[in-house]
Amino acid sequence: MAEATVQAVPAAETLGTNDWGGGTFPYRVGHRKLGMWLFIMSDSLTFGALLFAYSYARFSSDNWPTPFKFSPSITFSTSMTLVLLSSSLTMVFAVSAAKRRDRKKARLWIFATMLFGLTFVGLHLKEWMHLFDEGLTPFHLPAEWAEKWPGASPLFGSTFFGITGLHMFHVITGVCYLGVIAARIRKFTADDVEVSGLYWHFVDLVWMFVFPLIYLLSVDMTNR
Amino acid sequence: MTNESEKEAASNEPKEAKRLNQIMLGLAGLCVLFAAWDLAMNFFRAGTDDLFLILTALMLAALFAIPPAMAARARAKAERAEGVEEEHALEVHAEAHGGSDRQNVFVWGGLLALTAFEVFLAYEQVNLTLMLIILMGASIIKAALIVAYFMHLKFERLSLILTIVPTLVVLLCLFSILFPDSRRARVLRPPHSVEHVEGSSGEK
Protein backbone atom coordinates (compact mmCIF):
# COMPACT_ATOMS: atom_id res chain seq x y z
CA MET A 1 0.00 0.00 0.00
CA ALA A 2 2.77 2.37 1.00
CA GLU A 3 4.74 1.44 -2.09
CA ALA A 4 1.75 2.17 -4.27
CA THR A 5 1.25 5.72 -3.01
CA VAL A 6 4.95 6.49 -3.07
CA GLN A 7 5.11 5.33 -6.69
CA ALA A 8 1.95 7.14 -7.68
CA VAL A 9 3.06 10.61 -6.63
CA PRO A 10 6.05 11.04 -8.97
CA ALA A 11 3.98 9.57 -11.81
CA ALA A 12 1.37 12.25 -11.30
CA GLU A 13 4.12 14.86 -11.17
CA THR A 14 5.01 14.17 -14.77
CA LEU A 15 1.51 15.30 -15.79
CA GLY A 16 2.91 18.82 -15.64
CA THR A 17 1.25 20.19 -12.54
CA ASN A 18 2.71 23.19 -10.78
CA ASP A 19 2.08 24.98 -7.51
CA TRP A 20 -1.29 26.37 -8.60
CA GLY A 21 -2.20 24.03 -11.40
CA GLY A 22 -3.86 21.30 -9.36
CA GLY A 23 -3.98 18.12 -11.42
CA THR A 24 -4.19 14.72 -9.81
CA PHE A 25 -2.42 15.67 -6.58
CA PRO A 26 -2.99 19.38 -5.95
CA TYR A 27 -1.28 19.24 -2.56
CA ARG A 28 0.95 16.20 -3.09
CA VAL A 29 -0.35 14.65 0.15
CA GLY A 30 -2.72 11.75 0.71
CA HIS A 31 -6.33 12.22 1.74
CA ARG A 32 -5.64 11.16 5.34
CA LYS A 33 -2.94 13.76 5.78
CA LEU A 34 -5.08 16.47 4.20
CA GLY A 35 -7.95 15.48 6.48
CA MET A 36 -5.70 15.69 9.53
CA TRP A 37 -4.51 19.15 8.46
CA LEU A 38 -8.11 20.31 8.11
CA PHE A 39 -8.93 18.90 11.54
CA ILE A 40 -5.88 20.66 13.00
CA MET A 41 -7.05 23.95 11.48
CA SER A 42 -10.50 23.65 13.03
CA ASP A 43 -9.10 22.50 16.36
CA SER A 44 -6.62 25.36 16.56
CA LEU A 45 -9.59 27.70 16.10
CA THR A 46 -11.27 25.99 19.07
CA PHE A 47 -8.22 26.59 21.25
CA GLY A 48 -7.76 30.05 19.78
CA ALA A 49 -11.32 30.98 20.75
CA LEU A 50 -10.80 29.63 24.28
CA LEU A 51 -7.54 31.51 24.74
CA PHE A 52 -9.11 34.71 23.40
CA ALA A 53 -12.04 34.27 25.78
CA TYR A 54 -9.58 33.84 28.65
CA SER A 55 -7.68 36.99 27.64
CA TYR A 56 -10.96 38.88 27.31
CA ALA A 57 -12.16 37.79 30.75
CA ARG A 58 -8.80 38.68 32.27
CA PHE A 59 -8.57 42.06 30.56
CA SER A 60 -12.12 43.12 31.44
CA SER A 61 -11.90 42.10 35.11
CA ASP A 62 -11.00 44.52 37.84
CA ASN A 63 -8.53 42.06 39.27
CA TRP A 64 -7.18 38.69 38.27
CA PRO A 65 -5.46 36.24 40.63
CA THR A 66 -1.78 35.52 39.91
CA PRO A 67 -1.48 32.55 42.23
CA PHE A 68 1.19 30.28 40.69
CA LYS A 69 4.11 30.01 43.10
CA PHE A 70 7.44 29.41 41.47
CA SER A 71 8.28 26.34 43.45
CA PRO A 72 5.49 23.84 42.91
CA SER A 73 3.43 25.27 40.02
CA ILE A 74 5.96 26.83 37.64
CA THR A 75 8.59 24.12 38.09
CA PHE A 76 5.90 21.52 37.42
CA SER A 77 4.54 23.26 34.33
CA THR A 78 8.06 23.89 33.00
CA SER A 79 8.98 20.24 33.31
CA MET A 80 5.66 19.37 31.64
CA THR A 81 6.69 21.61 28.74
CA LEU A 82 10.07 19.87 28.49
CA VAL A 83 8.39 16.46 28.57
CA LEU A 84 5.96 17.44 25.81
CA LEU A 85 8.73 18.92 23.62
CA SER A 86 10.80 15.75 24.05
CA SER A 87 7.77 13.63 23.15
CA SER A 88 7.55 15.59 19.89
CA LEU A 89 11.18 14.74 19.15
CA THR A 90 10.65 11.01 19.77
CA MET A 91 7.57 11.19 17.51
CA VAL A 92 9.71 12.73 14.76
CA PHE A 93 12.11 9.78 15.15
CA ALA A 94 9.17 7.36 14.98
CA VAL A 95 7.99 8.91 11.72
CA SER A 96 11.45 8.82 10.15
CA ALA A 97 11.90 5.19 11.27
CA ALA A 98 8.53 4.33 9.72
CA LYS A 99 9.61 6.02 6.50
CA ARG A 100 12.70 3.80 6.44
CA ARG A 101 10.24 0.84 6.83
CA ASP A 102 11.88 0.05 10.16
CA ARG A 103 8.65 -0.91 11.91
CA LYS A 104 10.24 -2.26 15.10
CA LYS A 105 12.12 0.97 15.76
CA ALA A 106 9.08 3.04 14.84
CA ARG A 107 7.04 1.12 17.39
CA LEU A 108 9.69 1.67 20.09
CA TRP A 109 9.81 5.41 19.41
CA ILE A 110 6.00 5.58 19.52
CA PHE A 111 6.08 3.81 22.88
CA ALA A 112 8.59 6.42 24.11
CA THR A 113 6.25 9.16 22.90
CA MET A 114 3.31 7.57 24.75
CA LEU A 115 5.42 7.30 27.89
CA PHE A 116 6.24 11.01 27.71
CA GLY A 117 2.56 11.78 27.10
CA LEU A 118 1.50 9.77 30.15
CA THR A 119 4.20 11.52 32.22
CA PHE A 120 2.72 14.83 31.09
CA VAL A 121 -0.78 13.78 32.16
CA GLY A 122 0.52 12.53 35.52
CA LEU A 123 2.40 15.75 36.25
CA HIS A 124 -0.58 17.80 35.18
CA LEU A 125 -2.96 15.91 37.48
CA LYS A 126 -0.51 16.37 40.36
CA GLU A 127 -0.43 20.08 39.56
CA TRP A 128 -4.24 20.20 39.56
CA MET A 129 -4.21 18.50 42.97
CA HIS A 130 -2.08 21.35 44.38
CA LEU A 131 -4.77 23.80 43.29
CA PHE A 132 -7.63 21.64 44.58
CA ASP A 133 -5.82 21.50 47.94
CA GLU A 134 -5.71 25.30 48.01
CA GLY A 135 -9.50 25.28 47.53
CA LEU A 136 -9.81 26.31 43.87
CA THR A 137 -12.84 24.94 42.05
CA PRO A 138 -14.06 25.71 38.52
CA PHE A 139 -16.60 28.22 39.86
CA HIS A 140 -15.19 29.59 43.13
CA LEU A 141 -11.94 31.13 44.23
CA PRO A 142 -10.45 30.10 47.57
CA ALA A 143 -11.29 32.55 50.37
CA GLU A 144 -7.62 33.54 50.83
CA TRP A 145 -7.27 34.42 47.16
CA ALA A 146 -10.38 36.61 47.26
CA GLU A 147 -8.76 38.51 50.13
CA LYS A 148 -5.35 38.72 48.50
CA TRP A 149 -6.72 39.90 45.14
CA PRO A 150 -9.84 41.95 46.00
CA GLY A 151 -12.52 41.95 43.31
CA ALA A 152 -10.85 39.06 41.51
CA SER A 153 -13.03 37.37 38.94
CA PRO A 154 -14.23 33.84 39.77
CA LEU A 155 -13.81 33.13 36.05
CA PHE A 156 -10.19 32.24 36.88
CA GLY A 157 -11.13 28.68 37.82
CA SER A 158 -13.41 28.08 34.84
CA THR A 159 -10.91 29.39 32.29
CA PHE A 160 -8.03 27.53 33.93
CA PHE A 161 -9.75 24.16 34.20
CA GLY A 162 -11.54 24.60 30.87
CA ILE A 163 -8.41 25.29 28.82
CA THR A 164 -5.97 22.95 30.56
CA GLY A 165 -8.68 20.28 30.83
CA LEU A 166 -9.43 20.37 27.12
CA HIS A 167 -5.71 20.22 26.40
CA MET A 168 -5.27 17.26 28.73
CA PHE A 169 -8.18 15.53 27.00
CA HIS A 170 -6.32 16.01 23.71
CA VAL A 171 -3.15 14.49 25.21
CA ILE A 172 -5.07 11.45 26.50
CA THR A 173 -6.77 11.04 23.12
CA GLY A 174 -3.37 11.29 21.45
CA VAL A 175 -1.92 8.58 23.70
CA CYS A 176 -4.85 6.28 22.79
CA TYR A 177 -4.41 7.10 19.07
CA LEU A 178 -0.66 6.36 19.22
CA GLY A 179 -1.40 3.16 21.16
CA VAL A 180 -3.63 1.90 18.34
CA ILE A 181 -0.99 2.83 15.75
CA ALA A 182 1.80 1.11 17.73
CA ALA A 183 -0.23 -2.03 18.50
CA ARG A 184 -1.21 -2.63 14.89
CA ILE A 185 1.82 -1.09 13.21
CA ARG A 186 2.07 -3.98 10.75
CA LYS A 187 -1.30 -2.99 9.27
CA PHE A 188 -0.45 0.69 9.00
CA THR A 189 1.71 2.49 6.45
CA ALA A 190 4.35 5.14 7.05
CA ASP A 191 1.72 7.70 6.04
CA ASP A 192 -0.52 6.64 8.92
CA VAL A 193 2.33 7.04 11.40
CA GLU A 194 3.06 10.48 9.97
CA VAL A 195 -0.60 11.53 10.30
CA SER A 196 -0.68 10.45 13.95
CA GLY A 197 2.56 12.43 14.38
CA LEU A 198 0.85 15.54 12.98
CA TYR A 199 -1.84 15.24 15.64
CA TRP A 200 0.74 14.77 18.40
CA HIS A 201 2.80 17.79 17.31
CA PHE A 202 -0.39 19.86 17.24
CA VAL A 203 -1.10 18.97 20.88
CA ASP A 204 2.47 20.06 21.67
CA LEU A 205 1.98 23.29 19.74
CA VAL A 206 -1.19 24.19 21.67
CA TRP A 207 0.67 23.78 24.96
CA MET A 208 3.27 26.29 23.67
CA PHE A 209 0.49 28.91 23.91
CA VAL A 210 -1.31 27.60 27.00
CA PHE A 211 1.86 27.48 29.12
CA PRO A 212 2.91 31.15 28.78
CA LEU A 213 -0.62 32.59 28.73
CA ILE A 214 -2.02 30.65 31.69
CA TYR A 215 1.05 29.96 33.82
CA LEU A 216 3.85 32.42 33.08
CA LEU A 217 1.56 35.47 33.14
CA SER A 218 0.17 34.51 36.58
CA VAL A 219 3.30 33.95 38.63
CA ASP A 220 3.17 34.86 42.30
CA MET A 221 6.61 36.11 43.32
CA THR A 222 5.60 37.83 46.57
CA ASN A 223 7.33 35.18 48.70
CA ARG A 224 9.60 33.09 46.54
CA MET B 1 -9.60 31.72 -11.80
CA THR B 2 -6.20 32.69 -10.49
CA ASN B 3 -5.11 29.07 -10.70
CA GLU B 4 -5.20 29.00 -14.46
CA SER B 5 -3.70 32.41 -14.89
CA GLU B 6 -0.77 31.42 -12.71
CA LYS B 7 -0.34 28.15 -14.54
CA GLU B 8 0.44 29.93 -17.76
CA ALA B 9 2.45 32.68 -16.12
CA ALA B 10 5.56 30.57 -16.32
CA SER B 11 5.60 30.34 -20.11
CA ASN B 12 4.01 33.47 -21.59
CA GLU B 13 1.82 35.47 -19.31
CA PRO B 14 -1.60 36.11 -20.91
CA LYS B 15 -3.06 39.56 -20.86
CA GLU B 16 -5.81 38.79 -18.34
CA ALA B 17 -3.37 37.35 -15.82
CA LYS B 18 -1.23 40.44 -16.14
CA ARG B 19 -4.26 42.70 -15.57
CA LEU B 20 -5.40 40.60 -12.62
CA ASN B 21 -1.99 40.82 -11.01
CA GLN B 22 -1.90 44.56 -11.54
CA ILE B 23 -5.35 44.92 -9.93
CA MET B 24 -4.24 42.77 -7.00
CA LEU B 25 -1.10 44.84 -6.53
CA GLY B 26 -3.20 48.01 -6.66
CA LEU B 27 -5.56 46.66 -3.99
CA ALA B 28 -2.60 45.71 -1.81
CA GLY B 29 -1.19 49.20 -2.25
CA LEU B 30 -4.55 50.75 -1.31
CA CYS B 31 -4.67 48.68 1.88
CA VAL B 32 -1.15 49.77 2.84
CA LEU B 33 -2.10 53.39 2.10
CA PHE B 34 -5.21 53.05 4.27
CA ALA B 35 -3.11 51.71 7.15
CA ALA B 36 -0.62 54.55 6.75
CA TRP B 37 -3.45 57.11 6.59
CA ASP B 38 -5.05 55.76 9.75
CA LEU B 39 -1.69 55.78 11.50
CA ALA B 40 -0.98 59.37 10.45
CA MET B 41 -4.44 60.76 11.19
CA ASN B 42 -5.31 59.01 14.42
CA PHE B 43 -2.05 57.63 15.80
CA PHE B 44 -3.75 55.09 18.08
CA ARG B 45 -6.16 57.64 19.53
CA ALA B 46 -8.75 54.88 19.84
CA GLY B 47 -6.21 52.44 21.33
CA THR B 48 -6.73 48.81 20.42
CA ASP B 49 -9.41 49.68 17.83
CA ASP B 50 -6.86 51.54 15.74
CA LEU B 51 -4.35 48.78 16.22
CA PHE B 52 -6.91 46.25 14.97
CA LEU B 53 -7.81 48.39 11.96
CA ILE B 54 -4.17 48.81 10.93
CA LEU B 55 -3.36 45.13 11.42
CA THR B 56 -6.40 44.09 9.37
CA ALA B 57 -5.46 46.46 6.55
CA LEU B 58 -1.87 45.18 6.47
CA MET B 59 -3.11 41.57 6.54
CA LEU B 60 -5.42 42.20 3.60
CA ALA B 61 -2.52 43.86 1.76
CA ALA B 62 -0.40 40.75 2.31
CA LEU B 63 -3.24 38.53 1.04
CA PHE B 64 -3.74 40.64 -2.10
CA ALA B 65 0.00 40.57 -2.72
CA ILE B 66 0.17 36.74 -2.80
CA PRO B 67 -0.93 36.15 -6.46
CA PRO B 68 1.41 38.79 -7.98
CA ALA B 69 4.25 37.49 -5.84
CA MET B 70 3.51 33.94 -7.02
CA ALA B 71 3.51 35.12 -10.65
CA ALA B 72 6.83 36.89 -10.14
CA ARG B 73 8.22 33.73 -8.58
CA ALA B 74 7.00 31.60 -11.50
CA ARG B 75 8.53 34.04 -13.98
CA ALA B 76 11.87 33.99 -12.16
CA LYS B 77 11.73 30.19 -12.12
CA ALA B 78 11.05 30.09 -15.85
CA GLU B 79 13.98 32.41 -16.51
CA ARG B 80 16.24 30.26 -14.40
CA ALA B 81 15.03 27.12 -16.19
CA GLU B 82 17.83 27.47 -18.73
CA GLY B 83 20.21 25.91 -16.25
CA VAL B 84 18.10 22.75 -16.22
CA GLU B 85 20.54 20.55 -14.38
CA GLU B 86 20.75 22.79 -11.34
CA GLU B 87 16.99 23.03 -11.22
CA HIS B 88 16.67 19.25 -11.31
CA ALA B 89 19.24 18.83 -8.56
CA LEU B 90 17.32 21.31 -6.40
CA GLU B 91 14.05 19.45 -6.86
CA VAL B 92 15.61 16.11 -6.01
CA HIS B 93 16.97 17.66 -2.85
CA ALA B 94 13.54 18.99 -1.87
CA GLU B 95 12.01 15.60 -2.62
CA ALA B 96 14.34 13.83 -0.20
CA HIS B 97 11.79 14.26 2.61
CA GLY B 98 13.84 17.20 3.95
CA GLY B 99 14.74 17.58 7.60
CA SER B 100 17.30 15.09 8.87
CA ASP B 101 17.27 13.74 12.41
CA ARG B 102 20.15 16.05 13.26
CA GLN B 103 18.24 19.09 12.10
CA ASN B 104 15.25 18.04 14.20
CA VAL B 105 17.46 17.71 17.29
CA PHE B 106 18.69 21.25 16.65
CA VAL B 107 15.10 22.48 16.39
CA TRP B 108 14.30 20.70 19.65
CA GLY B 109 17.26 22.44 21.30
CA GLY B 110 16.04 25.78 20.01
CA LEU B 111 12.57 25.13 21.42
CA LEU B 112 14.06 24.23 24.82
CA ALA B 113 16.17 27.40 24.78
CA LEU B 114 13.12 29.56 24.00
CA THR B 115 11.19 27.88 26.82
CA ALA B 116 14.06 28.53 29.24
CA PHE B 117 14.08 32.17 28.14
CA GLU B 118 10.32 32.45 28.80
CA VAL B 119 10.60 30.95 32.28
CA PHE B 120 13.53 33.25 33.05
CA LEU B 121 11.38 36.25 32.09
CA ALA B 122 8.63 35.05 34.42
CA TYR B 123 11.18 34.68 37.22
CA GLU B 124 12.48 38.20 36.67
CA GLN B 125 8.93 39.67 36.83
CA VAL B 126 8.99 42.01 33.85
CA ASN B 127 6.16 44.53 33.33
CA LEU B 128 2.99 42.60 32.36
CA THR B 129 2.32 44.20 28.95
CA LEU B 130 5.94 43.89 27.84
CA MET B 131 5.95 40.32 29.13
CA LEU B 132 2.77 39.48 27.17
CA ILE B 133 4.30 40.84 23.96
CA ILE B 134 7.61 38.99 24.40
CA LEU B 135 5.91 35.74 25.43
CA MET B 136 3.52 35.83 22.47
CA GLY B 137 6.42 36.55 20.12
CA ALA B 138 8.43 33.64 21.51
CA SER B 139 5.38 31.35 21.35
CA ILE B 140 4.72 32.25 17.73
CA ILE B 141 8.36 31.49 16.88
CA LYS B 142 8.06 28.15 18.69
CA ALA B 143 4.80 27.33 16.91
CA ALA B 144 6.39 28.19 13.58
CA LEU B 145 9.37 25.92 14.33
CA ILE B 146 7.07 23.03 15.29
CA VAL B 147 4.84 23.47 12.23
CA ALA B 148 7.74 23.93 9.81
CA TYR B 149 10.08 21.17 10.96
CA PHE B 150 8.25 18.69 13.20
CA MET B 151 5.01 18.84 11.25
CA HIS B 152 7.04 18.91 8.06
CA LEU B 153 5.07 21.76 6.48
CA LYS B 154 8.23 23.49 5.25
CA PHE B 155 8.88 20.57 2.92
CA GLU B 156 5.34 20.32 1.56
CA ARG B 157 4.09 21.80 -1.64
CA LEU B 158 3.55 25.56 -1.63
CA SER B 159 -0.15 25.23 -2.43
CA LEU B 160 -0.71 23.25 0.80
CA ILE B 161 1.23 25.84 2.83
CA LEU B 162 -0.76 28.68 1.27
CA THR B 163 -4.02 26.84 1.96
CA ILE B 164 -3.29 26.28 5.64
CA VAL B 165 -1.19 29.14 6.98
CA PRO B 166 -2.88 32.34 5.70
CA THR B 167 -6.34 30.91 6.48
CA LEU B 168 -5.39 30.19 10.07
CA VAL B 169 -3.59 33.49 10.57
CA VAL B 170 -6.51 35.51 9.19
CA LEU B 171 -9.14 33.59 11.18
CA LEU B 172 -7.17 33.86 14.43
CA CYS B 173 -6.59 37.57 13.84
CA LEU B 174 -10.30 38.06 13.22
CA PHE B 175 -10.97 36.80 16.75
CA SER B 176 -9.31 39.98 17.96
CA ILE B 177 -12.20 42.01 16.46
CA LEU B 178 -13.94 41.39 19.81
CA PHE B 179 -10.95 42.25 21.91
CA PRO B 180 -11.24 46.07 22.13
CA ASP B 181 -14.67 45.50 23.74
CA SER B 182 -13.03 44.04 26.84
CA ARG B 183 -11.79 47.51 27.83
CA ARG B 184 -15.23 49.02 27.34
CA ALA B 185 -16.90 46.23 29.30
CA ARG B 186 -14.74 47.20 32.24
CA VAL B 187 -15.72 50.88 31.99
CA LEU B 188 -19.41 50.23 31.35
CA ARG B 189 -19.83 47.92 34.31
CA PRO B 190 -21.79 49.64 37.10
CA PRO B 191 -19.76 50.31 40.26
CA HIS B 192 -19.78 47.61 42.93
CA SER B 193 -21.14 45.23 40.36
CA VAL B 194 -19.74 42.22 42.23
CA GLU B 195 -21.75 42.94 45.38
CA HIS B 196 -24.73 43.86 43.27
CA VAL B 197 -24.72 40.57 41.39
CA GLU B 198 -24.24 38.58 44.56
CA GLY B 199 -27.02 40.45 46.37
CA SER B 200 -29.61 40.15 43.64
CA SER B 201 -28.88 36.71 42.25
CA GLY B 202 -32.60 35.93 42.31
CA GLU B 203 -33.43 38.73 39.88
CA LYS B 204 -31.87 37.22 36.80
Per-residue model confidence as pLDDT tens digits over B141-170: 999 999 999 998 888 888 888 889 888 988
Q: According to the model, what pLDDT value does residue B98 have?
A: 61
Scanning A34-93 for CB atoms below 8 A from B yields: 34, 37, 41, 44-45, 48-49, 52, 55-57, 59-62, 70, 74, 78, 81-82, 85-86, 88-89, 91-93
Mean pLDDT, to the nearest integer, of B24-50?
86
Q: According to the model, what pLDDT value does residue B145 have?
A: 94
Under 8 Å between Cβ of A103 and A186: yes
Give the residue on A whose Cα is nearest the Cα of B187: A60
* Segment (H or E) for B94: helix B84-95
Q: According to the model, what pLDDT value does residue B60 have?
A: 86
Query: Residue B35, Cβ neighbours under 10 Å: how many?
Result: 19
> Phi, psi at residue A101, to the nearest 5°?
65, 25
Please name which of B108, B107, B109, B98 lies closest in space to residue B154, comparing C-alpha atoms: B98
Q: Which residues in A lie closer than 8 A to residue B10 (C-beta atoms)? A: 18
Give the residue on A whose Cα is nearest the Cα of B78: A18
A220 has which bridge partners? A69
Would the CB atoms of A205 and B146 count as touching at under 8 Å?
yes
Residue B172 C-alpha from the chain's centroid: 9
Question: Can you give the pLDDT of all 224 residues of chain A as single tens digits?
Answer: 444 444 444 444 444 445 555 566 777 788 899 999 999 999 999 999 999 999 999 988 888 998 898 888 899 999 999 999 999 999 999 999 999 999 999 999 999 999 999 999 999 999 999 999 988 988 889 988 888 888 888 899 999 999 999 999 999 999 999 999 999 999 999 999 999 999 999 999 999 999 999 999 988 877 55
Check: complex ipTM more than 0.90: no
Report percent pLDDT > 70 for chain B: 78
Q: According to the model, what pLDDT value does residue B3 have?
A: 52
Mean pLDDT, to the nearest integer, of B4-21?
65
Would the CB atoms of A56 and B182 count as touching at under 8 Å?
yes
A63 has which bridge partners? A152
Q: Which residues in B lie closer than 8 A to residue A217 (C-beta atoms)? A: 122, 128, 131-132, 135
Q: Give the integer Cα–Cα distance in Å for A68 and A134.
A: 11
- Of the candidates A27, A60, A91, the beta carbon closest to that of B159 is on A27
Distance (Å) of CA B123 to CA A207, A212, B141, B184: 19, 12, 21, 32
Q: According to the model, what pLDDT value does residue B173 have?
A: 82
Q: Which residues in A lie closer than 8 A to residue B101 (C-beta atoms)? A: 92-93, 96
Q: According to the model, what pLDDT value does residue B180 have?
A: 79
Q: According to the model, what pLDDT value does residue B192 have?
A: 56
Q: Which residues in B lie closer than 8 A to residue A96 (C-beta atoms)? A: 101
Q: Does A198 touch chain B (CB under 8 A)?
A: yes
Per-residue model confidence as pLDDT tens digits over B179-191: 878 888 877 877 7
Distance (Å) of CA A179 to CA A75, A102, A185, A199, B56: 29, 18, 10, 13, 43
Residue B72 in this model has a pLDDT that exceeds 80: yes
- What string of DSSP letters covers B159-185? HHHHHHHHHHHHHHHHHGGGTHHHHHH
Q: According to the model, what pLDDT value does residue A78 have?
A: 94
> Best of B5, B119, B172 to disrupt the A interface by mutation (most A CBs within 10 Å)?
B119
